[in-house]
Chains A and B, each alone.
Chain A
Amino acid sequence: MKIIVDYDRCEANAICMKVCPEVFEVRDDDNLYLSTETPDESLRAKVMEAVRRCPRQAISVKD
Chain B
Amino acid sequence: MQLSDVDLYNAENWVEGVPHEAFRLLREQAPVFWQEVPEADGKGFYAITKYEDLVAISKDPSTYSSWRGSTMIRDLPKEDLENTRTIMLNMDPPQHSKYRKLVSQGFTPRMTAALEPKIRKTTAEILDRVTPLGQCDFVRDIAAELPLIVIAELVGVPLEDRHKVFEWSNKLIGFDDPEFGNTEEVGKLAAAEIWMYANQLAEQRRKDPRDDLVSVLMMGEVDGEKLSEVDFDSFFLLLAVAGNETTRNLISGGMRALLEHPAEWKRLKDDPSLLNPAVEEMLRWVSPVNHFRRTVTRDTELRGQKLREGDKVVIWYPSANRDEDVFPNPMHFDVGRTPNNHVAFGIGEHFCLGANLARLEIRAIFDEVIRRMPDLEFAGPVRRLRSNFINGIKEMPVRFTPSPAVAA
Do B351 and A56 touch (CB < 8 A)? yes
Which residues in A have their C-beta under 8 angstroms from that of B109?
12-14, 26, 30
Which residues in A have their C-beta under 8 angstroms from that of B348?
55-57
Number of interface residues of B (CB under 8 A): 19
Which residues in B have their C-beta under 8 angstroms from that of A53?
341
The answer to whether A2 has its CB under 8 Å from any CB of chain B is no
- Cα of A40 to Cα of B258 in the assembled complex, Å: 44
Q: What number of residue pairs across chains A and B have CB atoms under 8 A from each other?
A: 36
Pick from A11, A28, A57: contact of B104, CB under 8 Å: A11
Q: Which residue of the partner chain A has the closest CB to B348? A: A57
- Cα of A11 to Cα of B354 in the assembled complex, Å: 11
Which A44-63 residues sit within 8 Å CB-CB of chain B?
53, 55-57
Pick from B59, B110, B349, B353: contact of A28, CB under 8 Å: B110
- Chain B CB count within 10 A is highest, among A9, A14, A26, A29, for A9
- State the Cβ distance, B338 to closest chain A Cβ, in Å: 12
The answer to whether A8 has its CB under 8 Å from any CB of chain B is yes
- State the Cβ distance, B360 to closest chain A Cβ, in Å: 13
Q: Which residue of the partner chain A has the closest CB to B343? A: A55
- Cα of A12 to Cα of B353 in the assembled complex, Å: 11
Do B101 and A8 touch (CB < 8 A)? yes
- Chain B CB count within 10 A is highest, among A11, A14, A30, A53, for A11
Pick from A11, A26, A55: contact of B347, CB under 8 Å: A55
Q: Which residue of the partner chain A has the closest CB to B113? A: A28
Q: Which residue of the partner chain B has the closest CB to A28? A: B110
- State the Cβ distance, A2 to closest chain B Cβ, in Å: 21
Which A9-33 residues sit within 8 Å CB-CB of chain B?
9, 11-14, 26, 28-30
The answer to whether B199 has its CB under 8 Å from any CB of chain A is no
Which residues in B have their C-beta under 8 angstroms from that of A9?
97
- 17 A-B pairs besides A13-B109, A56-B351 with CB distance below 8 A are A8-B97, A8-B101, A9-B97, A11-B353, A12-B108, A12-B109, A26-B109, A28-B110, A30-B109, A53-B341, A55-B345, A55-B346, A55-B347, A55-B355, A56-B349, A57-B59, A57-B349
Closest 8 CB pairs of A and B: A55-B351, A30-B108, A30-B110, A12-B108, A55-B347, A11-B104, A12-B109, A57-B348
Can you offer 27 A-B residue contacts whose CB atoms are under 8 A? Answer: A8-B97, A8-B101, A11-B104, A11-B107, A11-B108, A11-B351, A11-B353, A12-B108, A12-B109, A12-B110, A13-B109, A13-B351, A13-B355, A13-B356, A14-B109, A26-B109, A28-B110, A29-B110, A30-B110, A55-B345, A55-B346, A55-B355, A56-B348, A56-B349, A56-B351, A57-B59, A57-B348
